[in-house]
Structure 1
Amino acid sequence: MPPSDTGKLWGGRFSGSVDPLMVEYNQSIYYDRIFYKQDIAGSIAWARANKNVGILSDDEYKRIVEGLKEVEKEWEDNTFEIKPGIDENAQPVRWSHWLCSYALAFASDLERLLEVTKRVNKSPLGCGALAGNPFGVDRDAIAKELGFEGLLMNSLGAVADRKFALETMQWAAELMTDISRISEDLILYGSAQYGFVRLADAYSTGSSLMPQKANQKNSDSLELLRGKSGRVIGQMVGLNCTIKGLPSTYNKDLQESVEPLIDCVKTVSDSVRILNGVISTLDIFPNKMLAALEPGMLATDLADYLVKKGVPFREAHHVSGQVVSLTESKGIAMDQLSHKDLQGVDRRLGSDFVFDYESSVEMRTSKGGTSKSSVREQIELLKTLVSES
């Protein structure tokens, strides 16, 4: 069955029209179009990868590349017609995969910290007030003695330089953003609506006002981590605003770099220790996670099943959307549909398709995926990154 008359990839599920303002509000194509060459190059690389694993034939790959080259020419000639649309789709993932997503983010933060440390570890000593010193002092020897990795080579710039503070605070803002994001996730996962995790007593409190929360812990530690990220980001922006308007050499405004830097370093240090304590003492409830899974999350698997049978993804996506729509009209879960129901949507949906969460995650075996083998690969990478840091 072909895609709907709306021309939208997701049209199979929806029967109503979208508010035109919502369509305009949602789309970013008018900004993204500057990347058309890169997007097309990526699409060709992806098509080649699909050909290499047998999803596309040589002829199909050739036709796709030819089509994409035509699209590229239309962009170059400014004749390409933009058709707006909206994306969607949830999928089951392993808890370990979710943990790895943040662990790798923090590993990247550590890598950036080491880079920042090396870049800003330059000595200003020997520059005098602003013009240098007249006594032939060996600046290199002083820098080496104090553990610097080099010199700030211009005396005018050196006395005004606060990159060591600003870059440290910029790095801290990135780290605290990651800390805030994992905190927000854990706040949600620990709420009554989810119940996936529970904080240890050391990092939570009860409610002094609401008796209905007597057995529910407040996620004070996580909320504070989330809140202090704004503090660190604000300190970084504040120092940047102080520096941006200063003339050459030292100005007294630069005194304002000391207090926020000291506070920033302490806040980050405390936050890392608190988050480590939260994660290492967290109670996790896998049964609650399993109970929260919903068969509709496997709609993408349905589309993938059809793709493996040679159905173009656009068409497979539409069929999957129709199956979701059918479950909504019947008021049942997707895995409660009979084989006859599925055949009524599309004859190519065979009895060999099974709605199964474990099978779903185990199919995602590519690097970075959520299968056990992929997660183990991520864990080994993390061990390597930590050992080399």
Structure 2
Amino acid sequence: MKLWGGRFAKKTDKLVEDFHSSISFDQRLYKQDIMGSVAHAAMLGKQGIISQEEADVLVAGLKTILQDIEAGQVHFEVDAEDIHMNVEKILTERVGEVGKKLHTARSRNDQIALDVRMYLKEEIKEITGLLLHLQEVLLDLADQHVHTVMPGYTHLQKAQPITLAHHLMAYFQMFSRDMDRLHDCYRRTDVMPLGSGALAGTTFQIDREFVKEQLGFAAITANSLDGVSDRDFAVEFCAAGALIMMHLSRFSEEVILWSSHEFRFITLDDGFSTGSSIMPQKKNPDVAELVRGKTGRVYGDLMGLLTALKGLPLAYNKDMQEDKEALFDAIDTVKKCLLVFAPMIETMKVNEKIMRQGVTGGFINATDAADYLAARNVPFRQAHEIVGRLVLYCEQAGKSLEELSMEELKDFSPLFGEDVYEKISPEKCVEARNVPGGPAPAAVKAAISKGRLYVHAFKER
């Protein structure tokens, strides 16, 4: 008989059993569900709602079930619907009638809200650790390539010279914002809903603060309706996860381009590449491509969860069962991608000479030539026009800016002097941009130092 079956005169249809059951996916919440029940049972005993002896029996029974589940000795049943009722059913079979007292002063509504929050808190900590590791990989790699000059792009056209370290630190900053978003999400997830009941709390004199302390929450929910009916913290995680994936996807796209024969800026390690079943020469960046592809899954998880919640009246509705699969998939996908992405970056070989060769051509130093004139009191717009005509002349003559003679340069402006050749060399172009946030080696070294302080501070939180 169902634990809620007293009202019903007919068994649930087998089709409905399968459709209604969530144990196939919410069983991963077993640990959180049992630990939440342990704290709840202890509180019931402390408050005299049940006897202390009964509370002790419940706690001991629950802990034994947890051990047995982790030892693979428990089989969950579909007709028990979900993880909560499976655990309660097993407990009652083991400890007898007292097991039926566990659910006093609570509902599955506040129970599942508790479980999901506890689970998400743990997963946020794990994902934060993975992101921190990726950031450390980026810092170490940037440290090695402070002087590795490469072309920077806009519109995928060569734009200005930068360094590989500067490029990597751009992603470090993106992942830092992702870290901050996860930290904020954790703070809003770290609120305990147990005690909200089905929607209106309970008539029993429970001690929510005690349960909060037992389970390590920072606060309790302030409204019972809100406590059971919102999943904005789950939406917030999926949004943060989508942004992490977006940043990983952009980075993946560059890894894919850089590893191509056309670029050859990097060579991926054999352990993080795959081959072709027909073309023996192929070395494919499948890891980066899969990360790029899996990004869409997390976007879908976010939109699915938002859509499931958007029209729900207060309080709980069965639609909210759909929150878990989307949340779990987002968590799993982000973790898998971070786990494989960091070692892919860590093991790739940087082809410094080819990166440096990439700086030649494309008039990547044109802005510096314009800056040279602007520094000599030529209005920048006029300097821009002069250098633009110089570039056109070079294209027609098949030359680069640095290949022009002084006589050719002076035909366009008498202010050009011999020092212009040094000023427009790629290395000098980079070194001259020694402003906070710029690509000059000194500026990037300062950014790396700040980055290490950021990572250390986050680890200390």
TM range (shorter): 0.7 to 0.9
Structure-to-structure mapping, 1:1-389, within 5 angstroms: 90-211=159-280, 214=281, 216-295=282-361, 296-354=363-421, 355-389=424-458
Deviations 1:167-213 (A, max 9, x none): 111110011100001000110000010001111111111122234xx
After TM superposition, give the deviation of residue 282 of structure 1 in Å. Answer: 0.7
Aligned to 1:60: none
Aligned-partner SS, 1:90:
strand
After TM superposition, give the deviation of residue 89 of structure 1 in Å. Answer: 7.4
After TM superposition, give the deviation of residue 153 of structure 1 in Å. Answer: 1.0
How many residues align structurally? Answer: 300
Amino acid at match of 1:262: F
2:379 & 2:320 partners in 1: Cα distance? Answer: 61
State the identity as a percent: 39
Q: TM-score by structure 2 length?
A: 0.64
Q: Could you list the runs of 4 or more consecutive aligned residues of structure 1 that deviate by over 2 angstroms after TM superposition?
A: none
Deviations 1:320-352 (A, max 9, x none): 111111101112222211111111111112222
Amino acid at match of 1:365: N
1:262 & 1:352 partners in 2: Cα distance? Answer: 61
1:144 & 1:166 partners in 2: Cα distance? Answer: 26
Amino acid at match of 2:397: K
Q: Is the 1:89–1:300 contact (alpha carbons within 8 Å) kept by the matching residues of 2? A: no
Deviations 1:53-88 (A, max 9, x none): xxxxxxxxxxxxxxxxxxxxxxxxxxxxxxxxx9x9
2:433 & 2:377 partners in 1: Cα distance? Answer: 19
Amino acid at match of 1:287: K
After TM superposition, give the deviation of residue 245 of structure 1 in Å. Answer: 1.0
Consecutive unaligned residues in structure 1, runs of 5 or more: 1-85
Amino acid at match of 1:301: D
Amino acid at match of 1:339: M
Give the superposed CA RMSD.
Answer: 1.4
Consecutive unaligned residues in structure 2, runs of 5 or more: 1-154
Amino acid at match of 2:356: L
Query: Is the deviation greater in 340-349 or in 362-371?
Result: 340-349
Amino acid at match of 1:311: V
1:152 & 1:315 partners in 2: Cα distance? Answer: 63
Q: TM-score by structure 1 length?
A: 0.75
Deviations 1:225-262 (A, max 9, x none): 00111111111111001111111100001000111111
Deviations 1:284-339 (A, max 9, x none): 10011111112500000001111111111111111111111110111222221111
Computing the radius of gyration from Cα coordinates, the structure with the larger value is 2
Q: Is the 1:199–1:281 contact (alpha carbons within 8 Å) kept by the matching residues of 2? A: yes
Aligned-partner SS, 2:365:
helix
1:329 & 1:347 partners in 2: Cα distance? Answer: 21
Q: Which has the higher contact order (CA 8 A, sep 6+)?
A: 1
1:254 & 1:298 partners in 2: Cα distance? Answer: 57
Amino acid at match of 1:239: L
